[in-house]
Structure 1
Amino acid sequence: MKKIGIIGYGWLGARIEASLHNTYTFSVTTTTQDKADELKNRGINPRVASFMDYQLASPLLPWDEIKTLDVIIITIPVSEKSCCVSSLYNRIQNLSSFIGDFEGQIFLMSSTGVYPNTEKEFIEEDIAVNSISGERMIRNKYPQVNILRLGGLMGDNRLLKNYNISNLDHAVNHVHYADIAGIISKMIERKLESKTYNVTAPAHPTKSQVINAQKNINDTGEVMEVKGKKVLSSKLISELEYVFQYPDPRFFHL
Protein backbone atom coordinates (compact mmCIF):
# COMPACT_ATOMS: atom_id res chain seq x y z
CA MET A 1 0.00 0.00 0.00
CA LYS A 2 1.47 3.33 -1.06
CA LYS A 3 1.99 6.05 1.51
CA ILE A 4 0.89 9.65 0.92
CA GLY A 5 2.01 12.75 2.76
CA ILE A 6 -0.41 15.68 2.84
CA ILE A 7 1.15 19.05 3.58
CA GLY A 8 -1.71 21.12 4.93
CA TYR A 9 -4.48 19.06 6.53
CA GLY A 10 -7.24 21.61 6.10
CA TRP A 11 -10.68 21.37 4.47
CA LEU A 12 -9.39 19.79 1.25
CA GLY A 13 -6.59 17.72 2.77
CA ALA A 14 -9.01 16.12 5.22
CA ARG A 15 -11.42 15.16 2.43
CA ILE A 16 -8.71 13.75 0.21
CA GLU A 17 -7.55 11.56 3.10
CA ALA A 18 -11.10 10.48 3.94
CA SER A 19 -11.80 9.62 0.29
CA LEU A 20 -8.63 7.56 -0.17
CA HIS A 21 -7.90 6.09 3.28
CA ASN A 22 -8.96 2.60 2.20
CA THR A 23 -6.40 2.62 -0.63
CA TYR A 24 -3.42 4.47 0.84
CA THR A 25 -1.86 5.21 4.22
CA PHE A 26 -1.31 8.81 5.26
CA SER A 27 1.03 11.11 7.11
CA VAL A 28 -0.03 14.75 7.34
CA THR A 29 1.01 18.14 8.64
CA THR A 30 -1.13 20.40 10.78
CA THR A 31 -0.43 23.69 12.53
CA THR A 32 -1.54 22.88 16.09
CA GLN A 33 -0.70 20.20 18.63
CA ASP A 34 -4.38 19.76 19.56
CA LYS A 35 -5.20 18.87 15.97
CA ALA A 36 -2.18 16.56 15.80
CA ASP A 37 -3.36 14.71 18.92
CA GLU A 38 -6.83 14.31 17.44
CA LEU A 39 -5.43 12.92 14.19
CA LYS A 40 -3.11 10.53 16.01
CA ASN A 41 -6.09 9.11 17.89
CA ARG A 42 -7.73 8.45 14.50
CA GLY A 43 -4.72 6.48 13.24
CA ILE A 44 -3.29 9.28 11.06
CA ASN A 45 0.40 10.09 11.49
CA PRO A 46 0.66 13.89 12.09
CA ARG A 47 3.52 16.38 12.27
CA VAL A 48 3.07 19.91 13.57
CA ALA A 49 4.59 22.28 11.02
CA SER A 50 3.87 25.83 9.93
CA PHE A 51 5.25 27.17 6.67
CA MET A 52 5.42 30.83 7.62
CA ASP A 53 5.82 33.60 5.07
CA TYR A 54 8.90 35.05 6.75
CA GLN A 55 12.44 33.72 6.63
CA LEU A 56 12.90 31.40 9.59
CA ALA A 57 15.89 31.84 11.89
CA SER A 58 16.80 28.25 11.09
CA PRO A 59 15.41 25.95 8.40
CA LEU A 60 12.54 23.64 9.25
CA LEU A 61 13.75 20.25 10.34
CA PRO A 62 13.20 17.69 7.57
CA TRP A 63 10.03 15.64 7.77
CA ASP A 64 11.02 12.42 9.49
CA GLU A 65 8.45 10.55 7.36
CA ILE A 66 9.88 11.71 4.05
CA LYS A 67 11.88 8.55 3.29
CA THR A 68 8.78 6.39 3.70
CA LEU A 69 6.52 8.45 1.42
CA ASP A 70 5.67 7.58 -2.17
CA VAL A 71 3.59 10.70 -2.85
CA ILE A 72 3.30 14.24 -1.47
CA ILE A 73 0.18 16.40 -1.86
CA ILE A 74 0.73 20.11 -1.19
CA THR A 75 -2.45 21.99 -0.25
CA ILE A 76 -0.95 25.07 1.43
CA PRO A 77 -1.51 28.23 -0.67
CA VAL A 78 1.33 29.11 -3.04
CA SER A 79 -0.25 31.94 -5.00
CA GLU A 80 0.55 35.65 -5.13
CA LYS A 81 -3.04 36.27 -4.02
CA SER A 82 -2.27 34.71 -0.64
CA CYS A 83 0.97 36.67 -0.09
CA CYS A 84 3.49 38.86 -1.88
CA VAL A 85 6.27 37.36 -4.03
CA SER A 86 8.97 37.71 -1.36
CA SER A 87 6.77 36.08 1.27
CA LEU A 88 5.83 33.37 -1.22
CA TYR A 89 9.53 32.72 -1.84
CA ASN A 90 10.10 32.28 1.91
CA ARG A 91 7.11 29.94 2.19
CA ILE A 92 8.42 27.72 -0.61
CA GLN A 93 11.96 27.78 0.81
CA ASN A 94 10.54 26.58 4.14
CA LEU A 95 8.60 23.90 2.31
CA SER A 96 11.69 22.68 0.45
CA SER A 97 13.65 22.51 3.71
CA PHE A 98 10.87 20.30 5.07
CA ILE A 99 10.70 17.80 2.17
CA GLY A 100 14.29 18.07 0.92
CA ASP A 101 15.13 16.50 -2.42
CA PHE A 102 12.03 14.33 -2.56
CA GLU A 103 11.98 12.41 -5.83
CA GLY A 104 8.57 10.74 -5.67
CA GLN A 105 5.29 12.00 -7.10
CA ILE A 106 4.27 15.47 -5.98
CA PHE A 107 0.89 17.14 -6.44
CA LEU A 108 0.51 20.90 -6.04
CA MET A 109 -3.01 22.19 -5.47
CA SER A 110 -3.08 25.41 -7.48
CA SER A 111 -6.16 27.36 -8.56
CA THR A 112 -8.13 28.42 -11.61
CA GLY A 113 -7.65 31.90 -10.16
CA VAL A 114 -4.48 32.05 -12.27
CA TYR A 115 -6.74 32.83 -15.23
CA PRO A 116 -8.01 36.39 -15.72
CA ASN A 117 -11.67 37.25 -15.24
CA THR A 118 -12.40 37.69 -18.91
CA GLU A 119 -15.18 36.16 -20.96
CA LYS A 120 -13.28 33.26 -22.50
CA GLU A 121 -12.90 29.48 -22.35
CA PHE A 122 -9.49 28.80 -20.82
CA ILE A 123 -7.26 25.79 -21.34
CA GLU A 124 -3.98 25.07 -19.57
CA GLU A 125 -1.82 26.45 -22.37
CA ASP A 126 -3.39 29.90 -22.09
CA ILE A 127 -1.37 30.62 -18.92
CA ALA A 128 2.11 29.08 -18.77
CA VAL A 129 3.41 27.68 -15.49
CA ASN A 130 6.46 29.97 -15.81
CA SER A 131 4.21 33.04 -15.65
CA ILE A 132 2.75 32.06 -12.24
CA SER A 133 5.26 32.68 -9.44
CA GLY A 134 4.21 29.91 -7.06
CA GLU A 135 3.83 27.25 -9.75
CA ARG A 136 7.16 28.27 -11.31
CA MET A 137 9.08 28.17 -8.02
CA ILE A 138 7.78 24.73 -7.12
CA ARG A 139 8.40 23.26 -10.58
CA ASN A 140 11.92 24.70 -10.73
CA LYS A 141 12.69 22.92 -7.46
CA TYR A 142 10.68 19.76 -8.20
CA PRO A 143 10.40 19.24 -11.99
CA GLN A 144 8.21 16.17 -11.46
CA VAL A 145 5.42 18.11 -9.74
CA ASN A 146 1.89 17.69 -11.07
CA ILE A 147 0.06 21.02 -10.92
CA LEU A 148 -3.71 20.79 -10.48
CA ARG A 149 -5.50 24.09 -11.07
CA LEU A 150 -8.60 23.53 -8.98
CA GLY A 151 -11.93 25.23 -9.49
CA GLY A 152 -14.02 26.38 -6.54
CA LEU A 153 -13.93 23.65 -3.89
CA MET A 154 -17.39 22.28 -3.21
CA GLY A 155 -19.14 19.39 -1.49
CA ASP A 156 -20.36 18.62 2.05
CA ASN A 157 -20.91 21.93 3.86
CA ARG A 158 -19.72 24.01 0.94
CA LEU A 159 -22.74 24.97 -1.15
CA LEU A 160 -23.10 28.12 -3.21
CA LYS A 161 -26.48 28.92 -1.64
CA ASN A 162 -24.73 29.51 1.70
CA TYR A 163 -22.69 32.46 0.40
CA ASN A 164 -23.42 36.05 -0.60
CA ILE A 165 -23.07 35.84 -4.36
CA SER A 166 -22.86 38.52 -7.05
CA ASN A 167 -22.92 38.21 -10.84
CA LEU A 168 -25.59 35.51 -10.81
CA ASP A 169 -25.51 35.23 -14.60
CA HIS A 170 -21.83 34.23 -14.62
CA ALA A 171 -20.69 30.64 -15.09
CA VAL A 172 -19.32 28.62 -12.19
CA ASN A 173 -15.99 26.82 -12.34
CA HIS A 174 -16.51 24.38 -9.49
CA VAL A 175 -15.26 20.93 -8.59
CA HIS A 176 -16.42 18.42 -6.00
CA TYR A 177 -13.70 17.26 -3.61
CA ALA A 178 -14.48 13.60 -4.44
CA ASP A 179 -13.35 14.20 -8.02
CA ILE A 180 -10.12 15.84 -6.87
CA ALA A 181 -9.37 12.70 -4.84
CA GLY A 182 -10.36 10.46 -7.75
CA ILE A 183 -8.12 12.32 -10.19
CA ILE A 184 -5.14 12.20 -7.82
CA SER A 185 -5.66 8.46 -7.31
CA LYS A 186 -5.78 7.83 -11.05
CA MET A 187 -2.61 9.84 -11.61
CA ILE A 188 -0.86 7.92 -8.83
CA GLU A 189 -1.85 4.63 -10.46
CA ARG A 190 -0.46 5.82 -13.80
CA LYS A 191 2.70 7.21 -12.17
CA LEU A 192 2.24 10.51 -13.99
CA GLU A 193 4.65 13.37 -13.48
CA SER A 194 5.10 16.98 -14.67
CA LYS A 195 1.47 17.35 -15.72
CA THR A 196 -0.61 20.53 -15.50
CA TYR A 197 -4.38 20.07 -15.47
CA ASN A 198 -7.42 22.24 -14.97
CA VAL A 199 -9.70 20.44 -12.52
CA THR A 200 -13.28 21.69 -12.94
CA ALA A 201 -16.56 19.88 -13.42
CA PRO A 202 -17.36 19.63 -17.16
CA ALA A 203 -20.65 21.54 -16.82
CA HIS A 204 -20.56 25.32 -16.25
CA PRO A 205 -24.08 26.45 -15.31
CA THR A 206 -24.72 29.96 -14.02
CA LYS A 207 -24.46 30.76 -10.34
CA SER A 208 -28.20 31.38 -10.36
CA GLN A 209 -28.90 27.90 -11.74
CA VAL A 210 -26.71 26.27 -9.09
CA ILE A 211 -28.32 28.19 -6.23
CA ASN A 212 -31.83 27.45 -7.50
CA ALA A 213 -31.02 23.73 -7.73
CA GLN A 214 -29.67 23.73 -4.17
CA LYS A 215 -32.80 25.51 -2.93
CA ASN A 216 -35.08 23.17 -4.91
CA ILE A 217 -36.39 26.06 -6.99
CA ASN A 218 -37.45 25.03 -10.48
CA ASP A 219 -35.93 27.02 -13.30
CA THR A 220 -38.47 28.96 -15.31
CA GLY A 221 -37.13 27.49 -18.53
CA GLU A 222 -35.92 30.90 -19.65
CA VAL A 223 -32.57 30.60 -21.40
CA MET A 224 -30.07 32.89 -19.69
CA GLU A 225 -26.94 34.10 -21.43
CA VAL A 226 -24.00 32.65 -19.52
CA LYS A 227 -21.32 35.26 -18.89
CA GLY A 228 -17.81 35.19 -17.51
CA LYS A 229 -14.90 32.84 -17.88
CA LYS A 230 -15.06 29.06 -18.21
CA VAL A 231 -12.05 26.97 -17.24
CA LEU A 232 -12.13 23.72 -19.17
CA SER A 233 -10.99 20.30 -17.93
CA SER A 234 -11.12 18.70 -21.39
CA LYS A 235 -7.38 17.94 -21.40
CA LEU A 236 -7.65 15.99 -18.16
CA ILE A 237 -10.73 14.09 -19.35
CA SER A 238 -9.01 13.14 -22.60
CA GLU A 239 -5.59 12.17 -21.26
CA LEU A 240 -6.77 10.37 -18.12
CA GLU A 241 -10.02 9.04 -19.58
CA TYR A 242 -11.48 10.30 -16.35
CA VAL A 243 -15.24 10.21 -15.78
CA PHE A 244 -16.35 12.80 -13.23
CA GLN A 245 -18.39 11.49 -10.31
CA TYR A 246 -20.00 14.94 -10.06
CA PRO A 247 -20.01 16.41 -13.58
CA ASP A 248 -22.61 19.12 -12.91
CA PRO A 249 -22.32 21.63 -10.03
CA ARG A 250 -26.12 21.89 -9.85
CA PHE A 251 -26.17 18.44 -8.24
CA PHE A 252 -23.16 18.61 -5.90
CA HIS A 253 -25.52 18.69 -2.91
CA LEU A 254 -27.24 15.38 -3.76
Structure 2
Amino acid sequence: MLLCLAGCDGAQKPTPAKWHPPPVKIQLGTSVDGLLKQLFFPFTSDCLKAVNLCWYELTFVDKKPLDVTITQPGQSLVLRQVIGLQVLANREVSQNVDDLDITLRGLPDGSSHKANRQWVYALLGDFKAAGWKKYYFPSDPRIAGSQLDKFEWKDNVFGQQTLTHPLFDPDVKMSLERWMAVNGFYDWYLYSGRYIAHVRVWRLGVANESSRPGSYLTSIEFSSLETFWRTDFPEADRPNWKALFADHLRQLSARRQATEAKARAAGVAVDEGYEGPAGERVQ
Protein backbone atom coordinates (compact mmCIF):
# COMPACT_ATOMS: atom_id res chain seq x y z
CA MET A 1 0.00 0.00 0.00
CA LEU A 2 1.29 3.41 -0.93
CA LEU A 3 0.83 6.64 0.87
CA CYS A 4 1.03 10.32 0.11
CA LEU A 5 1.36 12.87 2.83
CA ALA A 6 1.32 16.09 0.86
CA GLY A 7 -0.34 17.51 -2.23
CA CYS A 8 -2.79 14.66 -2.81
CA ASP A 9 -6.10 16.54 -2.68
CA GLY A 10 -8.08 15.89 -5.83
CA ALA A 11 -5.37 13.67 -7.28
CA GLN A 12 -6.39 10.85 -9.58
CA LYS A 13 -4.74 7.49 -9.18
CA PRO A 14 -2.67 6.72 -12.28
CA THR A 15 -2.74 3.36 -13.94
CA PRO A 16 -0.57 0.71 -12.28
CA ALA A 17 1.75 0.53 -15.28
CA LYS A 18 2.61 4.22 -14.90
CA TRP A 19 2.56 4.35 -11.12
CA HIS A 20 5.58 5.85 -9.45
CA PRO A 21 5.34 6.17 -5.67
CA PRO A 22 5.27 9.80 -4.54
CA PRO A 23 7.78 10.97 -1.95
CA VAL A 24 6.62 10.81 1.65
CA LYS A 25 7.23 13.26 4.48
CA ILE A 26 6.82 12.31 8.12
CA GLN A 27 7.43 14.85 10.85
CA LEU A 28 8.49 13.22 14.09
CA GLY A 29 6.38 14.24 17.06
CA THR A 30 3.28 15.22 15.10
CA SER A 31 -0.15 13.61 15.46
CA VAL A 32 -0.49 9.94 14.53
CA ASP A 33 -4.12 10.56 13.53
CA GLY A 34 -3.06 13.46 11.32
CA LEU A 35 -0.55 11.19 9.60
CA LEU A 36 -3.09 8.41 9.06
CA LYS A 37 -5.71 10.77 7.61
CA GLN A 38 -3.32 11.73 4.83
CA LEU A 39 -2.52 8.23 3.67
CA PHE A 40 -3.02 7.77 -0.05
CA PHE A 41 -3.97 4.10 0.34
CA PRO A 42 -5.42 2.07 3.21
CA PHE A 43 -3.16 0.73 5.91
CA THR A 44 -3.39 -2.30 8.15
CA SER A 45 -3.92 -1.86 11.87
CA ASP A 46 -3.64 -4.17 14.82
CA CYS A 47 -4.90 -2.83 18.14
CA LEU A 48 -5.01 -4.02 21.72
CA LYS A 49 -8.00 -2.06 22.93
CA ALA A 50 -7.52 -3.03 26.56
CA VAL A 51 -4.29 -1.02 26.71
CA ASN A 52 -5.06 1.48 23.91
CA LEU A 53 -2.09 0.30 21.84
CA CYS A 54 -2.12 0.14 18.03
CA TRP A 55 0.30 -0.81 15.28
CA TYR A 56 -0.27 0.82 11.89
CA GLU A 57 1.64 -0.83 9.09
CA LEU A 58 2.15 0.17 5.47
CA THR A 59 3.54 -2.07 2.78
CA PHE A 60 3.86 -1.16 -0.83
CA VAL A 61 2.27 -2.18 -4.10
CA ASP A 62 4.51 -4.66 -5.95
CA LYS A 63 7.14 -3.83 -3.31
CA LYS A 64 7.97 -0.63 -5.16
CA PRO A 65 10.17 1.32 -2.75
CA LEU A 66 9.48 4.87 -1.60
CA ASP A 67 11.59 7.85 -0.70
CA VAL A 68 10.69 8.91 2.85
CA THR A 69 11.77 12.21 4.38
CA ILE A 70 11.95 12.25 8.17
CA THR A 71 11.70 15.79 9.49
CA GLN A 72 12.16 17.71 12.69
CA PRO A 73 12.14 21.49 13.06
CA GLY A 74 14.98 22.81 10.91
CA GLN A 75 16.14 19.36 9.82
CA SER A 76 15.29 16.68 7.28
CA LEU A 77 16.66 13.22 6.51
CA VAL A 78 15.87 11.49 3.22
CA LEU A 79 15.69 7.69 3.34
CA ARG A 80 15.59 5.98 -0.03
CA GLN A 81 14.40 2.51 -1.02
CA VAL A 82 11.90 2.21 1.83
CA ILE A 83 9.82 -0.99 1.57
CA GLY A 84 8.17 -1.09 4.99
CA LEU A 85 6.85 1.41 7.52
CA GLN A 86 5.19 0.87 10.89
CA VAL A 87 3.94 3.36 13.45
CA LEU A 88 3.32 2.25 17.01
CA ALA A 89 0.77 4.38 18.86
CA ASN A 90 0.62 3.95 22.63
CA ARG A 91 -2.29 6.28 23.17
CA GLU A 92 -2.15 5.94 26.93
CA VAL A 93 1.17 7.79 26.72
CA SER A 94 1.20 9.93 23.56
CA GLN A 95 -0.91 10.80 20.52
CA ASN A 96 2.14 11.58 18.43
CA VAL A 97 4.60 9.87 16.08
CA ASP A 98 7.06 8.82 18.77
CA ASP A 99 7.80 5.25 17.67
CA LEU A 100 8.45 4.67 13.98
CA ASP A 101 10.01 1.63 12.27
CA ILE A 102 11.29 1.76 8.69
CA THR A 103 12.63 -1.10 6.58
CA LEU A 104 14.97 -0.39 3.68
CA ARG A 105 15.73 -2.33 0.53
CA GLY A 106 19.49 -2.56 0.39
CA LEU A 107 21.73 -4.05 -2.25
CA PRO A 108 20.61 -7.06 -4.29
CA ASP A 109 21.06 -10.47 -2.71
CA GLY A 110 24.45 -11.88 -3.52
CA SER A 111 26.25 -8.54 -3.38
CA SER A 112 29.67 -8.62 -1.77
CA HIS A 113 30.11 -7.95 1.94
CA LYS A 114 32.44 -5.11 1.05
CA ALA A 115 29.72 -3.46 -1.04
CA ASN A 116 27.13 -3.95 1.71
CA ARG A 117 29.48 -2.45 4.28
CA GLN A 118 29.97 0.56 2.01
CA TRP A 119 26.17 0.91 1.57
CA VAL A 120 25.58 0.89 5.34
CA TYR A 121 28.24 3.51 6.02
CA ALA A 122 26.78 5.67 3.26
CA LEU A 123 23.42 5.44 5.06
CA LEU A 124 25.08 6.47 8.32
CA GLY A 125 26.70 9.32 6.41
CA ASP A 126 23.23 10.51 5.36
CA PHE A 127 22.21 10.63 9.01
CA LYS A 128 25.27 12.65 9.98
CA ALA A 129 24.85 15.03 7.05
CA ALA A 130 21.28 15.66 8.27
CA GLY A 131 22.54 16.60 11.75
CA TRP A 132 22.25 13.29 13.60
CA LYS A 133 25.10 12.58 16.03
CA LYS A 134 26.70 9.56 17.65
CA TYR A 135 24.84 8.42 20.77
CA TYR A 136 26.30 6.83 23.90
CA PHE A 137 23.90 5.15 26.34
CA PRO A 138 24.38 6.96 29.69
CA SER A 139 25.94 3.96 31.45
CA ASP A 140 28.30 3.17 28.55
CA PRO A 141 31.85 4.54 28.48
CA ARG A 142 32.38 7.29 25.93
CA ILE A 143 35.03 5.42 23.95
CA ALA A 144 35.30 6.08 20.23
CA GLY A 145 35.91 3.40 17.63
CA SER A 146 39.35 4.88 17.00
CA GLN A 147 40.45 3.45 20.39
CA LEU A 148 39.69 -0.21 19.65
CA ASP A 149 43.30 -1.16 19.00
CA LYS A 150 44.25 -0.14 22.55
CA PHE A 151 42.27 -2.70 24.56
CA GLU A 152 40.50 -6.06 24.44
CA TRP A 153 36.85 -5.44 23.64
CA LYS A 154 35.38 -8.58 22.09
CA ASP A 155 33.68 -9.92 25.26
CA ASN A 156 33.11 -6.65 27.13
CA VAL A 157 34.36 -3.09 27.50
CA PHE A 158 36.46 -2.97 30.66
CA GLY A 159 34.15 -5.47 32.32
CA GLN A 160 30.90 -3.86 31.15
CA GLN A 161 28.34 -5.09 28.65
CA THR A 162 27.32 -2.10 26.51
CA LEU A 163 24.40 -1.05 24.36
CA THR A 164 26.49 1.42 22.33
CA HIS A 165 29.72 -0.46 21.68
CA PRO A 166 32.79 1.38 20.31
CA LEU A 167 32.82 -1.06 17.38
CA PHE A 168 29.60 0.55 16.17
CA ASP A 169 30.84 4.11 16.14
CA PRO A 170 29.15 5.81 13.15
CA ASP A 171 32.17 8.11 12.85
CA VAL A 172 34.68 5.26 12.42
CA LYS A 173 34.41 2.71 9.61
CA MET A 174 35.30 -0.78 10.81
CA SER A 175 37.61 -2.90 8.70
CA LEU A 176 36.17 -5.67 6.55
CA GLU A 177 37.85 -8.19 8.85
CA ARG A 178 36.05 -6.78 11.88
CA TRP A 179 32.84 -6.50 9.87
CA MET A 180 32.91 -10.20 9.06
CA ALA A 181 33.69 -11.13 12.67
CA VAL A 182 30.40 -9.62 13.89
CA ASN A 183 27.91 -12.34 14.79
CA GLY A 184 25.06 -11.40 12.48
CA PHE A 185 23.68 -8.16 13.97
CA TYR A 186 25.11 -4.66 13.64
CA ASP A 187 23.68 -1.87 15.82
CA TRP A 188 24.35 1.86 15.57
CA TYR A 189 22.66 4.54 17.67
CA LEU A 190 22.40 8.22 16.78
CA TYR A 191 20.43 11.11 18.22
CA SER A 192 18.96 14.39 17.07
CA GLY A 193 16.85 16.74 19.18
CA ARG A 194 14.58 14.60 21.34
CA TYR A 195 14.82 11.49 19.14
CA ILE A 196 17.09 8.46 19.01
CA ALA A 197 17.60 6.40 15.86
CA HIS A 198 18.62 2.75 16.09
CA VAL A 199 20.06 1.56 12.79
CA ARG A 200 20.07 -2.24 12.81
CA VAL A 201 21.59 -4.39 10.07
CA TRP A 202 21.15 -8.14 9.96
CA ARG A 203 23.55 -10.25 7.95
CA LEU A 204 21.53 -13.26 6.82
CA GLY A 205 23.04 -16.70 7.06
CA VAL A 206 26.04 -17.80 9.07
CA ALA A 207 28.84 -17.43 6.54
CA ASN A 208 31.66 -15.23 7.81
CA GLU A 209 33.92 -15.42 4.79
CA SER A 210 34.32 -12.12 2.99
CA SER A 211 34.89 -13.90 -0.34
CA ARG A 212 31.35 -15.34 -0.32
CA PRO A 213 28.38 -13.10 -1.28
CA GLY A 214 25.99 -11.93 1.40
CA SER A 215 22.43 -10.80 2.00
CA TYR A 216 21.49 -8.06 4.46
CA LEU A 217 18.33 -6.59 5.97
CA THR A 218 18.32 -3.02 7.29
CA SER A 219 15.77 -1.43 9.60
CA ILE A 220 15.65 1.87 11.47
CA GLU A 221 13.69 2.60 14.63
CA PHE A 222 13.03 6.22 15.53
CA SER A 223 12.05 6.69 19.17
CA SER A 224 11.37 9.82 21.16
CA LEU A 225 13.44 10.09 24.32
CA GLU A 226 10.23 9.61 26.30
CA THR A 227 9.44 6.35 24.49
CA PHE A 228 13.05 5.16 24.67
CA TRP A 229 13.37 5.75 28.41
CA ARG A 230 9.91 4.71 29.50
CA THR A 231 10.59 1.17 28.25
CA ASP A 232 13.86 1.08 30.22
CA PHE A 233 11.87 0.89 33.45
CA PRO A 234 10.06 -2.16 34.84
CA GLU A 235 6.41 -2.34 33.82
CA ALA A 236 5.20 -1.45 37.30
CA ASP A 237 7.30 1.75 37.37
CA ARG A 238 6.43 3.04 33.92
CA PRO A 239 3.42 5.17 34.91
CA ASN A 240 5.73 7.09 37.27
CA TRP A 241 8.97 6.85 35.28
CA LYS A 242 9.54 10.59 34.93
CA ALA A 243 9.70 11.03 38.71
CA LEU A 244 12.29 8.25 38.88
CA PHE A 245 14.30 9.34 35.86
CA ALA A 246 16.82 11.72 37.47
CA ASP A 247 17.94 9.15 40.04
CA HIS A 248 18.09 6.48 37.34
CA LEU A 249 20.34 8.68 35.21
CA ARG A 250 22.65 9.34 38.18
CA GLN A 251 23.02 5.61 38.73
CA LEU A 252 23.81 5.04 35.06
CA SER A 253 26.28 7.94 35.07
CA ALA A 254 28.07 6.43 38.06
CA ARG A 255 28.54 3.18 36.13
CA ARG A 256 29.94 5.14 33.20
CA GLN A 257 32.39 7.03 35.39
CA ALA A 258 33.68 3.81 36.95
CA THR A 259 34.26 2.20 33.55
CA GLU A 260 35.85 5.32 32.10
CA ALA A 261 38.27 5.42 35.04
CA LYS A 262 39.43 1.92 34.08
CA ALA A 263 39.78 3.02 30.45
CA ARG A 264 41.92 6.04 31.33
CA ALA A 265 44.13 3.89 33.55
CA ALA A 266 44.70 1.60 30.56
CA GLY A 267 45.68 4.52 28.31
CA VAL A 268 42.40 4.62 26.39
CA ALA A 269 41.07 8.07 25.56
CA VAL A 270 37.56 9.07 26.63
CA ASP A 271 35.36 11.28 24.46
CA GLU A 272 35.12 14.13 26.97
CA GLY A 273 33.42 16.44 24.48
CA TYR A 274 30.30 14.31 24.18
CA GLU A 275 27.20 15.89 25.70
CA GLY A 276 24.31 13.75 24.50
CA PRO A 277 20.65 14.74 24.24
CA ALA A 278 19.63 17.62 26.49
CA GLY A 279 17.07 15.43 28.23
CA GLU A 280 19.80 13.08 29.46
CA ARG A 281 22.21 15.52 31.04
CA VAL A 282 22.54 14.78 34.72
CA GLN A 283 22.58 17.84 36.96
TM normalised by structure 1 equals 0.26
Please state which structure has a larger fraction of its residues in helix: 1
Larger radius of gyration: 2
